[in-house]
Amino acid sequence: MNFRARNRIILVAVVILCACSPALYLPTINDASRAGISTDSLIAGRTLYINHCGSCHNLHLPEQFTQAHWEKVMPEMKRKTKISEEEAKLISSFVLARCKPD
């Protein structure tokens, strides 16, 4: 594969990945306060969510599901993606900060 073709493939992948991310909320100080975690940690969780979860399937907005749903699917997703416990906690914090109430 030549240099130009490889760059096109990379560009298409980046565009597809980034197309979903604007709909995801950007964590605020209020989200961090409500979640009991720093804004930087929520932003890290958002980034991990986009990079890891979005690499296998369409991203779901956190508010699409309840806390119970997210807590049920996260262990299975953690196992499938082989992310660390710390990464899983950051992703969970991000989605739980704005999920639907149970």
Question: How far, in Å, CA of 81 to CA of 19, rounded?
Answer: 21
The pTM (predicted TM-score) of the whole model is: 0.76
Residue with structure tokens 């992310």?
83
Predicted confidence (pLDDT) per residue in 55-89, tens digit:
888 999 999 999 999 999 999 999 988 899 999 99
Predicted confidence (pLDDT) per residue in 20-34, tens digit:
455 899 999 999 998
Give the single-character DSSP code of 66.
B
Q: Which of 8, 14, 33 is nearest to 97 (CA)?
A: 33
pLDDT of res. 50 = 94
